[in-house]
Structure 1
Amino acid sequence: MPHYWLMKAEPAEASIDDVLAMPDATVGWTGVRNYQARNFMRDSMQVGDGVLFYHSSCAQPGVVGIARVASGIKVDPTQFDPASPYFDAASKPEAPRWLLVDVQVVHKTRNLTLPELRADAALADLLILKKGNRLSITPVEPAHWQHIVSVLGHPGV
Protein backbone atom coordinates (compact mmCIF):
# COMPACT_ATOMS: atom_id res chain seq x y z
CA MET A 1 0.00 0.00 0.00
CA PRO A 2 1.49 3.36 -0.95
CA HIS A 3 2.31 6.07 1.54
CA TYR A 4 1.71 9.75 0.97
CA TRP A 5 3.91 12.69 1.84
CA LEU A 6 3.98 16.46 1.83
CA MET A 7 7.41 17.74 0.86
CA LYS A 8 8.30 21.42 1.16
CA ALA A 9 10.53 23.19 -1.32
CA GLU A 10 11.49 26.84 -1.36
CA PRO A 11 10.68 28.09 -4.86
CA ALA A 12 13.82 30.25 -4.85
CA GLU A 13 15.82 26.99 -4.66
CA ALA A 14 13.65 24.47 -6.54
CA SER A 15 10.23 25.55 -7.72
CA ILE A 16 7.81 23.16 -9.34
CA ASP A 17 8.54 24.89 -12.66
CA ASP A 18 12.28 24.30 -12.14
CA VAL A 19 11.64 20.60 -11.55
CA LEU A 20 9.34 20.33 -14.57
CA ALA A 21 12.22 21.70 -16.69
CA MET A 22 14.61 18.99 -15.42
CA PRO A 23 15.13 15.69 -17.22
CA ASP A 24 12.14 13.43 -16.52
CA ALA A 25 10.75 16.26 -14.30
CA THR A 26 12.80 14.69 -11.49
CA VAL A 27 14.93 16.25 -8.76
CA GLY A 28 17.08 14.85 -5.99
CA TRP A 29 15.52 16.13 -2.77
CA THR A 30 18.71 17.54 -1.28
CA GLY A 31 19.19 19.65 1.81
CA VAL A 32 17.04 17.79 4.34
CA ARG A 33 18.81 18.53 7.63
CA ASN A 34 16.29 17.34 10.18
CA TYR A 35 16.67 13.83 11.56
CA GLN A 36 12.94 13.10 11.71
CA ALA A 37 12.44 14.16 8.07
CA ARG A 38 15.52 12.14 7.07
CA ASN A 39 14.16 9.13 8.89
CA PHE A 40 10.87 9.38 7.00
CA MET A 41 12.87 9.11 3.76
CA ARG A 42 15.13 6.36 5.06
CA ASP A 43 12.59 4.19 6.87
CA SER A 44 9.21 4.74 5.25
CA MET A 45 9.38 6.18 1.72
CA GLN A 46 9.04 3.79 -1.17
CA VAL A 47 9.27 4.29 -4.92
CA GLY A 48 5.80 5.21 -6.16
CA ASP A 49 4.60 6.90 -2.97
CA GLY A 50 2.53 10.02 -3.60
CA VAL A 51 3.95 13.46 -2.85
CA LEU A 52 2.21 16.78 -2.39
CA PHE A 53 4.76 19.27 -3.74
CA TYR A 54 4.53 22.28 -1.44
CA HIS A 55 6.08 25.72 -1.92
CA SER A 56 7.22 27.20 1.40
CA SER A 57 9.02 30.37 2.51
CA CYS A 58 7.32 32.40 -0.18
CA ALA A 59 4.50 34.93 -0.55
CA GLN A 60 1.82 32.26 -1.15
CA PRO A 61 2.81 28.94 0.46
CA GLY A 62 0.77 25.96 -0.61
CA VAL A 63 0.45 22.71 -2.54
CA VAL A 64 1.47 23.41 -6.14
CA GLY A 65 1.71 19.93 -7.60
CA ILE A 66 1.38 16.18 -7.41
CA ALA A 67 4.58 14.15 -7.51
CA ARG A 68 5.87 10.70 -6.68
CA VAL A 69 8.90 9.23 -5.00
CA ALA A 70 11.03 8.14 -7.96
CA SER A 71 14.00 6.42 -6.28
CA GLY A 72 15.13 4.68 -3.17
CA ILE A 73 17.34 6.53 -0.71
CA LYS A 74 20.72 7.86 -1.79
CA VAL A 75 23.47 9.78 -0.07
CA ASP A 76 22.91 13.55 -0.29
CA PRO A 77 26.14 14.87 -1.88
CA THR A 78 25.56 18.45 -0.67
CA GLN A 79 26.64 17.45 2.86
CA PHE A 80 30.22 17.02 1.58
CA ASP A 81 30.40 20.20 -0.54
CA PRO A 82 31.94 23.12 1.41
CA ALA A 83 30.39 25.53 -1.12
CA SER A 84 26.87 24.22 -0.44
CA PRO A 85 24.56 25.86 2.10
CA TYR A 86 23.83 22.27 3.18
CA PHE A 87 27.47 21.40 3.94
CA ASP A 88 27.90 19.38 7.14
CA ALA A 89 31.53 19.24 8.26
CA ALA A 90 30.70 16.49 10.76
CA SER A 91 29.34 14.15 8.08
CA LYS A 92 31.90 11.82 6.55
CA PRO A 93 31.69 9.90 3.24
CA GLU A 94 32.22 6.61 5.07
CA ALA A 95 29.36 7.48 7.48
CA PRO A 96 27.02 9.98 5.79
CA ARG A 97 24.30 11.56 7.93
CA TRP A 98 22.04 12.92 5.22
CA LEU A 99 20.04 11.17 2.53
CA LEU A 100 17.79 12.05 -0.36
CA VAL A 101 15.21 10.51 -2.64
CA ASP A 102 14.43 11.54 -6.19
CA VAL A 103 11.03 13.18 -6.62
CA GLN A 104 9.26 13.28 -9.98
CA VAL A 105 6.54 15.85 -10.65
CA VAL A 106 3.51 14.19 -12.22
CA HIS A 107 1.20 17.20 -12.48
CA LYS A 108 1.43 20.90 -11.72
CA THR A 109 -1.71 22.16 -10.01
CA ARG A 110 -3.10 25.49 -8.98
CA ASN A 111 -1.71 26.71 -5.68
CA LEU A 112 -3.85 25.23 -2.92
CA THR A 113 -2.77 27.85 -0.41
CA LEU A 114 -2.05 27.45 3.25
CA PRO A 115 -5.10 29.57 4.20
CA GLU A 116 -7.28 27.28 2.03
CA LEU A 117 -5.81 24.20 3.72
CA ARG A 118 -6.46 25.74 7.15
CA ALA A 119 -10.05 26.63 6.23
CA ASP A 120 -10.93 23.08 5.10
CA ALA A 121 -12.50 21.17 8.02
CA ALA A 122 -11.65 17.84 6.37
CA LEU A 123 -7.96 18.71 6.81
CA ALA A 124 -8.10 19.89 10.43
CA ASP A 125 -5.60 17.26 11.57
CA LEU A 126 -3.23 17.47 8.57
CA LEU A 127 0.25 17.48 10.14
CA ILE A 128 1.50 20.58 8.33
CA LEU A 129 -1.32 22.54 9.98
CA LYS A 130 -0.35 21.54 13.52
CA LYS A 131 1.04 24.38 15.61
CA GLY A 132 4.82 24.32 15.72
CA ASN A 133 5.27 21.83 12.87
CA ARG A 134 8.15 23.00 10.72
CA LEU A 135 9.27 19.69 9.22
CA SER A 136 10.13 19.78 5.52
CA ILE A 137 8.67 16.29 5.03
CA THR A 138 5.51 15.07 6.72
CA PRO A 139 3.38 11.98 6.21
CA VAL A 140 -0.10 12.53 4.80
CA GLU A 141 -3.00 10.27 5.77
CA PRO A 142 -4.69 8.53 2.80
CA ALA A 143 -7.97 10.34 3.52
CA HIS A 144 -6.18 13.70 3.44
CA TRP A 145 -4.40 12.74 0.21
CA GLN A 146 -7.67 11.75 -1.46
CA HIS A 147 -9.36 14.93 -0.29
CA ILE A 148 -6.56 17.22 -1.48
CA VAL A 149 -6.18 15.60 -4.91
CA SER A 150 -9.97 15.75 -5.27
CA VAL A 151 -10.01 19.47 -4.39
CA LEU A 152 -7.25 19.97 -6.97
CA GLY A 153 -9.23 17.98 -9.57
CA HIS A 154 -6.46 15.42 -10.06
CA PRO A 155 -6.58 11.62 -9.71
CA GLY A 156 -3.24 11.42 -7.85
CA VAL A 157 -0.12 9.52 -8.89
Structure 2
Amino acid sequence: MPQYWLMKSEPDSYGWDDLVTEGEGTWDGVKNAQASNNMKAMKKGDQVFFYHSCQGLDVVGIMQVSEEHSPDVSTDPERWVVVKVKPVRKLAKPVPLKAMKQNPELENLAIIRQSRLSVAPVTESEWDAILAMGGG
Protein backbone atom coordinates (compact mmCIF):
# COMPACT_ATOMS: atom_id res chain seq x y z
CA MET A 1 0.00 0.00 0.00
CA PRO A 2 1.54 3.32 -1.01
CA GLN A 3 2.33 6.00 1.51
CA TYR A 4 1.71 9.69 0.93
CA TRP A 5 4.08 12.60 1.47
CA LEU A 6 4.59 16.30 0.90
CA MET A 7 7.95 17.77 -0.05
CA LYS A 8 8.75 21.49 -0.10
CA SER A 9 11.07 23.30 -2.44
CA GLU A 10 11.65 26.96 -3.19
CA PRO A 11 10.55 27.42 -6.81
CA ASP A 12 13.41 29.80 -7.62
CA SER A 13 15.89 27.10 -6.50
CA TYR A 14 14.07 23.99 -7.78
CA GLY A 15 10.46 24.20 -8.85
CA TRP A 16 7.88 21.93 -10.41
CA ASP A 17 8.92 22.97 -13.94
CA ASP A 18 12.53 22.01 -13.19
CA LEU A 19 11.42 18.51 -12.16
CA VAL A 20 9.28 18.15 -15.29
CA THR A 21 12.19 19.27 -17.49
CA GLU A 22 14.56 16.77 -15.84
CA GLY A 23 12.05 13.91 -15.93
CA GLU A 24 13.51 12.58 -12.68
CA GLY A 25 14.98 14.60 -9.86
CA THR A 26 17.21 13.92 -6.90
CA TRP A 27 15.74 15.43 -3.74
CA ASP A 28 18.87 16.48 -1.89
CA GLY A 29 20.11 19.07 0.58
CA VAL A 30 17.62 18.15 3.31
CA LYS A 31 19.36 18.84 6.63
CA ASN A 32 16.67 18.19 9.21
CA ALA A 33 16.61 14.96 11.18
CA GLN A 34 12.83 14.49 11.06
CA ALA A 35 12.65 15.29 7.33
CA SER A 36 15.56 12.95 6.66
CA ASN A 37 13.88 10.17 8.64
CA ASN A 38 10.75 10.72 6.56
CA MET A 39 12.81 10.33 3.40
CA LYS A 40 14.29 7.09 4.78
CA ALA A 41 10.73 5.79 5.26
CA MET A 42 9.77 6.44 1.64
CA LYS A 43 9.27 3.47 -0.66
CA LYS A 44 9.43 3.27 -4.43
CA GLY A 45 5.97 4.09 -5.77
CA ASP A 46 4.93 6.34 -2.86
CA GLN A 47 2.98 9.43 -3.95
CA VAL A 48 4.29 12.89 -3.06
CA PHE A 49 2.83 16.38 -3.29
CA PHE A 50 5.26 18.98 -4.65
CA TYR A 51 4.87 22.13 -2.57
CA HIS A 52 6.33 25.49 -3.57
CA SER A 53 7.65 27.16 -0.42
CA CYS A 54 8.65 30.78 0.19
CA GLN A 55 7.06 31.90 -3.11
CA GLY A 56 3.59 30.68 -3.93
CA LEU A 57 3.08 28.64 -0.77
CA ASP A 58 1.00 26.01 -2.51
CA VAL A 59 0.83 22.41 -3.63
CA VAL A 60 1.35 22.42 -7.40
CA GLY A 61 1.87 18.81 -8.48
CA ILE A 62 2.19 15.13 -7.74
CA MET A 63 5.45 13.19 -7.83
CA GLN A 64 6.24 9.54 -7.30
CA VAL A 65 9.24 8.13 -5.47
CA SER A 66 11.31 6.43 -8.17
CA GLU A 67 14.30 5.43 -6.06
CA GLU A 68 14.51 4.90 -2.31
CA HIS A 69 17.00 6.70 -0.10
CA SER A 70 20.73 6.73 -0.61
CA PRO A 71 23.50 8.86 0.95
CA ASP A 72 23.45 12.58 0.11
CA VAL A 73 26.92 13.13 -1.31
CA SER A 74 26.17 16.87 -1.73
CA THR A 75 26.28 17.31 2.07
CA ASP A 76 27.23 14.78 4.73
CA PRO A 77 26.62 11.28 3.29
CA GLU A 78 27.05 9.71 6.71
CA ARG A 79 24.12 11.69 8.08
CA TRP A 80 21.78 12.84 5.27
CA VAL A 81 19.97 11.07 2.44
CA VAL A 82 18.40 11.72 -0.96
CA VAL A 83 15.50 10.11 -2.80
CA LYS A 84 14.69 10.24 -6.48
CA VAL A 85 11.30 11.40 -7.69
CA LYS A 86 9.48 11.61 -11.01
CA PRO A 87 6.67 13.98 -11.91
CA VAL A 88 3.24 12.37 -12.24
CA ARG A 89 1.09 15.38 -13.07
CA LYS A 90 0.49 19.02 -12.31
CA LEU A 91 -2.64 19.77 -10.29
CA ALA A 92 -5.48 21.41 -12.24
CA LYS A 93 -5.17 24.33 -9.82
CA PRO A 94 -2.61 25.05 -7.10
CA VAL A 95 -3.73 24.47 -3.51
CA PRO A 96 -2.62 27.41 -1.36
CA LEU A 97 -1.47 26.93 2.22
CA LYS A 98 -4.06 29.50 3.31
CA ALA A 99 -6.87 27.33 1.89
CA MET A 100 -5.41 24.21 3.49
CA LYS A 101 -5.37 25.97 6.89
CA GLN A 102 -9.07 26.78 6.46
CA ASN A 103 -10.04 23.19 5.64
CA PRO A 104 -11.07 21.33 8.84
CA GLU A 105 -10.08 18.02 7.21
CA LEU A 106 -6.48 19.25 7.20
CA GLU A 107 -6.22 20.57 10.77
CA ASN A 108 -3.63 17.90 11.63
CA LEU A 109 -1.64 18.19 8.41
CA ALA A 110 2.04 18.06 9.35
CA ILE A 111 3.05 21.19 7.42
CA ILE A 112 0.39 23.17 9.27
CA ARG A 113 1.50 21.90 12.68
CA GLN A 114 5.24 22.05 11.84
CA SER A 115 5.64 24.80 9.27
CA ARG A 116 9.41 24.40 8.97
CA LEU A 117 9.29 20.67 8.17
CA SER A 118 10.31 20.25 4.52
CA VAL A 119 9.42 16.57 4.07
CA ALA A 120 6.27 15.43 5.82
CA PRO A 121 3.85 12.50 5.85
CA VAL A 122 0.31 12.98 4.57
CA THR A 123 -2.53 10.65 5.57
CA GLU A 124 -4.74 9.12 2.91
CA SER A 125 -7.68 11.32 3.94
CA GLU A 126 -5.47 14.44 3.87
CA TRP A 127 -4.20 13.37 0.44
CA ASP A 128 -7.76 13.01 -0.85
CA ALA A 129 -8.78 16.40 0.59
CA ILE A 130 -5.84 18.23 -1.00
CA LEU A 131 -6.39 16.40 -4.28
CA ALA A 132 -10.06 17.48 -4.30
CA MET A 133 -9.03 21.08 -3.59
CA GLY A 134 -6.62 20.91 -6.54
CA GLY A 135 -9.29 19.84 -9.00
CA GLY A 136 -9.16 16.07 -8.57
Bucket of the pairwise TM-score, normalised by the shorter protein: over 0.9
Q: Which runs of 5+ in 1 are unaligned?
A: 80-90
Q: What corresponds to 1:135 in structure 2?
A: 117
Aligned-partner SS, 1:39: helix
Q: Give the CA deviation at 1:67.
A: 0.9
- Structure 2, unmatched stretches of 5+, are none
1:153 to partner: Cα distance: 2.7
Does structure 1 residue 114 correspond to structure 2 residue 97? yes
The aligned counterpart of 1:71 is 67
| Deviation string, structure 1 residues 73-108 (Cα, Å, up to 9, x no partner) | 1121211xxxxxxxxxxx3x6xx2111000111011
Please give the alpha-carbon distance, in whole angstroms, between the structure 2 residues aligned to 1:49 and 1:19: 17
Distance in 2 (CA, whole Å) between partners of 1:149 and 1:133 is: 20
CA drift at 1:54: 0.2
**What corresponds to 1:36 in structure 2?**
34
TM-score (norm 2): 0.93
Structure 1 runs, 4 residues or longer, greater than 4 Å off: none
Q: Distance in 2 between matches of 1:147 and 1:114?
A: 13
Give the 5 Å matches for 1:40-51.
Answer: 40-42=38-40, 44-51=41-48
**Alpha-carbon distance in 1 for matches of 2:16, 2:115:** 22
Report how far residue 151 of structure 1 moved: 2.2
Distance 2:133 2:123 in 1: 15
The equivalent of 1:62 in structure 2 is 58
Query: How many residues get paired?
Result: 135
Shift of 1:15: 0.4
When the two structures are superposed, what TM-score results if normalisation uses the length of structure 1? 0.81
Question: Paired residue for 2:81, among 92, 99, 104?
Answer: 99
Aligned-partner Cα distance in 1 for 2:115–2:89: 26
Identical residues among aligned pairs (%): 39
Q: Displacement of 1:133 after TM fit?
A: 3.2
Larger strand percent: 2
Residue of structure 1 equivalent to 2:20: 20
Distance 2:38 2:100 in 1: 23
**Larger Rg computed on CA atoms:** 1
1:116: Cα distance to partner?
A: 1.0
In 2, the alpha carbon distance for the partners of 1:54 and 1:39 equals 19
2:109 counterpart residue number: 126
TM-superposed deviation, 1:152: 1.7
